[in-house]
Structure 1
Amino acid sequence: MLDRTIAPQSQAVNNINLIEPGHTALANGCQVYWFNSGDQDLVRIEWIFGNLRYNAAKPLLNMAVNTMLTEGTSKLTGSQIADSIDYYGAFLQAEYGYDQSEVILYSLTRHLEHTLPVVLDILTDSQFPQHELDTFIRNQQQKLQVSLQKNDILARRAFNKAVYGNTIYGLGASATDYQQLQRADMLAHFKQMYQPANCTLVISGKVDEATLKQITGAFTNWQNSTEPADTTQPPIAPVTERFFYTEKPDALQSAIRMGLPMVYRSHPDFPALQVLNTVLGGYFGSRLMANIREDKGYTYGIGSGISSLKHGAAFFIATEVGADVCRNAIEEIEKEVNLLKTELISEEELSLVRNYMLGSILGSLENVFSHADKFKNVYFAGLGLDYYDRYSEIIKTVTAEELKSLANKYWDFDQFYKVIVGKY
């Protein structure tokens, strides 16, 4: 019988073993990476495209084109596309991101002969029917109207605009931006962006030699446009103003978002900064949670993070607090930031954070798809899988003195961009 009065033995995380992908390049320039693992005859195929250069006059093209890819081609309507995929128990979706947009297919390997041609049709012949575009614009404007009633969304938009300036990262879409979407612009954007030379194909699951050959063979005749994809982006210029307040007299809660530009994932300080961030507000047992939620009761939740994108990065703290304690909450946040600049983290707390972070990495590697996701994180940052070895080693070895030094190097509360929506 299992004696439940005895706690199971705990062990330190020593190694994190990641699946190394295979790699090949198609003649049309498409880069192919595959992860072969698992017993189920299931694959996830991701066609990942770099977004085109941000155009402030037509700011929503990257998002709108990707979102509407599955709404119809010359051969198939949006309903027929959905039915063709559903019939074979497959799943198809388009996902937009700031830096890349992708088309994702989950399919049993025995049905790839039926599902792959549908994806090829989408990637080569999407038409963005006018009636579907009109519906898209109307729906997005309605969603935007609802979103703009939420304080936390307003705070996030204002913070991003301050930190990232007039770039895709700082865009706060308006109803007028949606109204300006034109089918002709979307077709031109599609032709330039969705071509093999601008595509990274990531395949994960049970990818044997025959399956890989079948997938790559279906796209070998995929041709590039005569106009190369321009995926460069305008330089980021943060604004000079540091404090932004939107008053809502009837607000019961105030949204707070603050932070400042930060180093990228590729920077040597980034892993240790993630440890420092975790101590401050990166997990449920963080100092911000212990103070602002557990001790003061100002909020249901507060957290901090570092967002590392391809062309920009930022450290941020975000919460919603009772409108009557907004100033008190900001004072407590400043206190916690400054404590990390003046006092050493105890070895007990640092050990807890180390174990949490290493355990989170291991816990996130639950299947082959997770390994592919870890690869994408570093690949599109220009790094290799050895990044995770360095990351884990720094988590295990960084000292309290080093973390204090980093807090003083990167965190100046007076220089934080501070956004408040509600009452102050």
Structure 2
Amino acid sequence: MLDRTLAPNFGAIEHIKLVEPEHIKLPNGCSLYYFNSGEQDLVRIEWVFGNLRFNPDKPLLNSAVVTMLTEGTGSLSASQIADKVDFYGAFLQAEYGFDHSVVTLYSLSKHLENTLPVIKDIITDSVFPESELQTYVRNQQQKLQVSLQKNDVLARRAFNKAMNGDSLYGLAADATDFQQLQRADMLAHFKQMYQPSNCTIFLAGKIDEEILKLITDTFGKNWQNGPETADTTQPALKQADEHFYYIEKPDAIQSAIRIGTRIINRSHPDFPALQVLNTILGGYFGSRLMANIREDKGYTYGIGSGVSSLKHGGALFIATEVGADVCRDAVSEIEKEINRLKTELVPQDELELVRNYMLGSLLGSLENVFSHADKFKNVYFSELDYTYYDRYTSIIKAVTAQDLMDLANKYLDFDKMYKVIVGKY
């Protein structure tokens, strides 16, 4: 019988083994990576497309096209698509991201023969019906109107715009941008972007030869590239010269704060150690920002920092909402915590705690084969390989307090950070 008076043994995480994919290059140029693992007859398939070059005159095409993929094809209406997917107990989702747009299907293996043709129809023959487009425009304008009443939304939009200018990363859409959406533009965008040479398929689950053949036949045959190659290059990001933005709301009870700077992305050798530094600053519940601004000062219910890794750059950002009367004090405390990292060595016990937290989080995130596929996508789209995770764990174990201080002085200059306040200051 288990003796619950005794704490379980624990030990350091020495090595994390990841499920590695097999790769097939289809004749039409589409790449397929598949992860065969698991006991249940369930698979997740993702069709990932690189977003086309940002056009400031038509800024919403990438996001609008993927959102409306399921609104109708040449042979199926939106309701018929939904009914077919639901009938087989499957789940279909189309999502927009800064660098890629993704169509995801979860399905029982035995129903793939019926669900895959629906996906094929969506990514080869979406027609964006005019009536559905007008409904989409109205709904999005209404959602935007509601969102723009929220301080944190305004702060995020202003922050991204300052950091990234007119780009996919800096887009802050307004109502007129939705009104400019035209069906002809969406069709042209769709035909250029949604073709096999611009698609990578990630398949994860319990996979046998029959499933593999079904997928390769469905998306390797009778799916041809168009005459125009997908242009996924992006214009250079242009940061704003102004670094402080204040959107005043005289009646605000809370103020939204967003502070940060452009930094490296995952492909840079400093990135793993920078994640350690970020975790100490504000990357988990026991972070310094939480301990100071929430636990000690009581200025907020929550505050955190994060690092984002995108194809064309990265960012470190701090976000919170605080009482309007303590906004200026909260900003001062954030500056204080950043400067502490630059002038004081992190105590060894704090560093060990963060090491264990980060390694444990990585291990805990690998709960199933889908998680392993997600980890692979991170390195694949950063043009890295699985040695990244070996290096990541090695750096977390070996990084010193002096290394972290050096990084803080290299990357964290509060005076040059972008600062956005919405509310009272």
Q: TM class, shorter-chain normalised?
A: over 0.9
Offset at residue 2 of structure 1 (A): 2.6
Which position in structure 1 is the counterpart of 2:125?
125
Per-residue CA deviation, residues 245-284 of structure 1 (Å, 9 max, x unaligned), is 0000000000000111101111011000000000000000
Q: Which residue of 2 aligns with 1:20?
A: 20
Give the counterpart letter for 2:254 in structure 1: Q
Q: How does 1:91-170 map to 2 (within 5 A)?
A: 91-170=91-170
1:78 aligns with: 78
User: Could you give the per-residue CA deviations for residues 214-258 of structure 1, whole angstroms, max 9, x where no partner exists?
Assistant: 111111221110000000000011011010000000000000001
Per-residue deviation at 1:385?
A: 1.3
**Letter matched to residue 232 of structure 1:** T
Pair 1:281-2:282 in alignment: yes
Q: SS of 1:318's equivalent?
A: strand
Displacement of 1:207: 1.2
User: Amino acid of the residue matched to residue 390 of structure 1?
Assistant: R
Aligned to 2:411: 410
CA distance in 1 between counterparts of 2:140 and 2:422 reads 23
Hey, what does 2:303 align to over in structure 1? 302
Gaps of 5+ in 2: none
Alpha-carbon distance between aligned partners in 1 of 2:268 and 2:237, rounded to the nearest angstrom: 18
Q: After TM superposition, which residue ranges in structure 1, 4 or more long, deviate above 6 angstroms? A: none
Segment of structure 1 superposing worse, 280-289 or 1-10: 1-10
Q: What is the one-letter code of the residue matched to 1:394?
A: I
Whether the aligned pair in 2 keeps the contact of 1:34 and 1:202 (CA below 8 Å) is yes
| TM-score (structure 2 length as normaliser) | 0.99
Contact preservation (8 Å) 1:280, 1:304: yes
Asked if the contact 1:42–1:106 (Cα under 8 Å) also holds between the matched residues in 2, the reply is yes
Which residue of the partner structure matches residue 191 of structure 1? 191
RMSD: 0.7
- After the TM superposition, which residues 316-335 of structure 1 pair with which residues of structure 2 at under 5 Å, given as runs? 316-335=317-336
Q: Kindly, what percent of the aligned residue pairs are identical?
A: 73
Alignment of 1:260-279 (within 5 A): 260-279=261-280
Please show how residues 43-54 of structure 1 align to structure 2 within 5 Å.
43-54=43-54
Question: Given the alignment of the two structures, is residue 337 of structure 1 paired with residue 338 of structure 2, yes or no?
Answer: yes
Question: 2:338 matched to 1:353?
Answer: no
TM-score (norm 1): 0.99
Deviations 1:310-348 (A, max 9, x none): 112111111100000001101111111111111111110
Give distance in 2, aligned partners of 1:5 and 1:191: 64
Kindly indicate whether residue 238 of structure 2 is the aligned counterpart of residue 216 of structure 1: no
- Partner residue of 2:202? 202
Could you say what secondary structure the match of 1:10 adopts?
coil
2:402 corresponds to 1:392: no
Q: CA deviation at 1:175?
A: 0.3
Please tell me the residue identity of whatever aligns with 2:336.
Answer: K
Matched residue of 1:366: which SS? Answer: coil
Q: For 1:119 and 1:6, locate their aligned partners in 2 and report how far apart those are by CA, in whole Å.
A: 53
Distance (whole Å) between structure 1 residues aligned to residue 286 and residue 262 of structure 2: 25
- Which residue in the other structure is 1:421 paired with? 422
Q: Once the 2 structures are TM-superposed, how far is the Cα of residue 3 of structure 1 from its aligned partner?
A: 2.5
* Paired residues, number: 424
| Alpha-carbon distance in structure 2 between the residues aligned to 1:201 and 1:386 | 22
Separation (CA, whole Å) in 2 of partners of 1:415 and 1:31 = 42
Task: Structure 1: give runs of 5+ residues left out of the alignment.
Answer: none
Report deviation, 1:5.
Answer: 2.4
Q: Secondary structure at the match of 1:169?
A: coil
Deviates more, 1:152-161 or 1:3-12: 3-12
Contact 1:164 1:312 in 2 (8 A): no
How far residue 40 of structure 1 moved from its aligned partner, in angstroms, is 0.8
1:365-384 matched pairs, under 5 angstroms: 365-384=366-385
Instruction: Provide the C-alpha distance between the structure 1 equivalents of 2:208 and 2:401, rounded to a whole number of angstroms.
Output: 47
Letter matched to residue 131 of structure 1: S
Where 1:153 maps in the other structure, the secondary structure is helix
Residue deviations 1:362-391, cap 9 Å, x none? 110000000000011110111111111100
Structure 1 residue 74: Cα displacement: 1.1
Letter aligned with residue 358 of structure 2: M
Q: Aligned to 1:7, what secondary structure does the other structure show?
A: coil
Q: Secondary structure at the match of 1:168?
A: coil
Counterparts of 2:330 and 2:141 in 1: how far apart (Å)? Answer: 34
Shift of 1:166: 1.1
Q: Secondary structure at the match of 1:292?
A: helix
C-alpha offsets along residues 183-233 of structure 1, whole Å, 9 cap, x if unaligned?
000000000000000000100001122211111111122111000000000
CA distance in 2, matches of 1:375, 1:181: 35
SS at the partner of 2:392? Answer: helix
